[in-house]
Amino acid sequence: MRFKRTAAAVLAAVTAVSAASVCAFAEENKAELATLDFADVHGMTKYSSLGDGYILYYDDSNYIRGIVHLEKNDNGELTYTDVETDLDFSKNITWWSGESEYLQLSERDTENNVTKRHVVHIDKANNKATTVYTPPVDWCYTRGDGYSICQDNGPFLKVYEPDGTVHEIGMMDGFRFYTYAISDLNGKYVGYALSLSDSDPDVRIESPAYGTTRDIIFYGIGKDGSRNKLYVAKNVIDCDFCAIGSNYFVINEQYVNDAESPLSGRWTLYLTEEDKVVNNFNFWGSSGGNRIYNNKLMKTRPEGESNMTAGLIDVTTNEYCNDNGYLYIGTEDEGKTYLVESMDEKWGFLDADGNEIGEWFDDAGEFRGDYAPVIKDGKAYLVDRNFNRVSEMVNANEVETYSDDMFLFANGDEVKFVTYNGAASAPADTSKPDDTSKPSDSTSTPSAEKDNPETGAKGVALTLGLAAIAGAAAVVYRKKK
């Protein structure tokens, strides 16, 4: 999708702006849709969501130009309000990590190197955004609750509390490589770390091809800087996180059986809330969702891996919940429903047990509140959880869920935030478009779902020492495509 470049806007005061439209031809017993064009928000082309209607908005430079709050006024119109802040958005500032009440923004030089970091508190009650502390310029990740975990001064981690209090912890028993993973949703630990250990080996295998095996310890890092041993991978050549969520992580372990055997792999699922290990887990080549719900884990399909499919795995049986492979799977309502894309590029839903429900659409977004956006025959509308149409239909070729009661509709280069007025569950609807082929005009809508800009993963796994780290743009487009 191409967007027109516009001048940057520097936020100086709280200014209410009404830039909205309400569709004039709402059908009887169907909710009207109120919309706000992207371009009407200071010429915005992309955004990052902070929750509760707060967004960072960008122009074509991929640098943040301000913070606004989206809301529906008493007339049912979508409007936005500028958020007062002490940040200077005339500089090259990008989103780095965090969301909700706290986020980390980074200033960059002309070569895109980080020169300064800001941990910012979004005071939603007073519509203000204020810098609360400045962490090290070296790698640092901030969670939505204001805690940061940072790499600074060699083999040490630093944990920052929301008020800026710092805890330092040494992590390495034998410095060879260093990996840590951050789960923004996890309340028990700030993150996890992998640390080499040369102490108390059970067996050491010398392999001409792969070197000496070792033990690698997996730690949970507490908010007070504590180091909590969770699991030890014994006699492995190498290992890393291949998926991490708020109540689990999956470890990819590489090992040799003897000096001459080829390198082998296994996957171990660690359930953090239960302190339970599931060995020989079926997870090869995949990254997972942010949480395991009802003992079901989402297995996603890596980009470019045409021989692999996404699906829902029952961790008690280590089997897929159904026999149908998918191109995409995701949930935004804590596993009550899952949005999936079929192998023939249609969009539909699974229930909490992994059974297909409802019908197939040309495009769809997740359920978060009572409704989800869908498209058939070039017409976008909202459906309830019984898949009855509850809103008027408008022209669109792509939809996405933004929040409980707000959505994104795109029609070519025109992208809008969309909400509804007076939606309510409706009787079975007989006016749905027929199930025909997907519209040929397909675009990519700027998305509220952000991968981490340093690693490309929502659940962050970062290796220092053996791997080079390169910063990337904070703006990431539609998560589904």
pLDDT tens digits, 200-231: 555 566 666 777 777 888 888 889 988 888 88
What is the structure's pLDDT at 89? Answer: 95
d(CA 399, CA 328): 15
Lowest mean pLDDT among 210-219, 356-365, 395-404, 442-451: 442-451
Residue 60 lies in a domain: yes
pLDDT tens digits, 260-275: 666 777 888 888 888 8
Residue type, 344: D
Do 341 and 328 meet the contact criterion of CB atoms below 8 Å apart? yes
Between 17 and 66, the more confident residue is: 66
What is the structure's pLDDT at 351? Answer: 97
CA angle 277, 282, 283 (to 5 degrees): 95
Residue 110 lies in a domain: yes
Residue 161 lies in a domain: no
Q: Which of 144, 167, 200 is the endpoint of a domain? A: 144
HSE value, Cβ hemisphere, 13 Å, CA-based, for 227: 17
Average pLDDT, the chain: 78
pLDDT at 395 over 60: yes
Confidence of residue 24 (pLDDT cuts 50, 70, 90): very low
Between 125 and 11, the more confident residue is: 125
> In sequence order, what are the residues at sequence separation of 6 or more whose Cβ sits closer than 8 angstroms to the Cβ of residue 329?
289, 298, 299, 300, 310, 311, 312, 338, 339, 340, 341, 350
Residue 40 lies in a domain: yes
What is the structure's pLDDT at 437? Answer: 38
Residue 338 lies in a domain: yes
What is the structure's pLDDT at 221? Answer: 87
pLDDT at 65 over 90: yes
Between 101 and 303, the more confident residue is: 101
Do 144 and 452 meet the contact criterion of CB atoms below 8 Å apart? no
- Rounded average pLDDT over 32-47: 94
- Rounded average pLDDT over 52-68: 93
Residue 340 lies in a domain: yes
Between 47 and 272, the more confident residue is: 47
- Rounded average pLDDT over 432-438: 44
- Rounded average pLDDT over 436-445: 38
Confidence of residue 250 (pLDDT cuts 50, 70, 90): confident
Could you list the beta-strand ranges (E) of 91-244: 93-99, 102-108, 114-123, 128-133, 140-142, 148-151, 156-160, 166-170, 178-182, 191-197, 206-207, 211-212, 214-221, 227-236, 238-244
pLDDT tens digits, 443-459: 333 443 333 334 333 33
DSSP string, 230-271: EEEEEEESEEEEEEE-SSEEEEEEEE-SSTTSPPEEEEEEEE
- Domain with 35 in it: 1-19+27-144
Determine how many CB atoms are found less than 10 A away from the CB of residue 369.
14
Do 366 and 328 meet the contact criterion of CB atoms below 8 Å apart? no
pLDDT at 22 over 60: no
> In sequence order, what are the residues at sequence separation of 6 or more whose Cβ sits closer than 8 angstroms to the Cβ of residue 27?
392, 393
Percentage of the chain exceeding pLDDT 70: 72
Q: Which two tokens stand for residue 161?
A: 């509390």
What is the structure's pLDDT at 228? Answer: 86
pLDDT tens digits, 94-134: 999 888 899 999 999 999 999 999 999 999 999 999 999 99
What is the structure's pLDDT at 470? Answer: 25
Instruction: CATH number of the domain at 355, please.
Output: 2.130.10.10
pLDDT tens digits, 406-429: 999 999 989 999 999 876 554 444
43 φ/ψ sector (left φ>0, alpha ψ -120 to 50, else beta): left
Residue 270 lies in a domain: no
Residue 352 lies in a domain: yes
Confidence of residue 256 (pLDDT cuts 50, 70, 90): confident
Give the strand pairing for 372-376 and 363-364. Answer: antiparallel
Between 372 and 319, the more confident residue is: 372
370 φ/ψ sector (left φ>0, alpha ψ -120 to 50, else beta): alpha
Between 175 and 228, the more confident residue is: 228
Write the DSSP symbol of residue 26: P
d(CA 133, CA 120): 8
Confidence of residue 338 (pLDDT cuts 50, 70, 90): very high
What is the structure's pLDDT at 107? Answer: 96
Q: How many domains are contained in the chain? A: 2
Q: Which of 116, 144, 172 is the endpoint of a domain? A: 144
CA angle 456, 402, 184 (to 5 degrees): 45
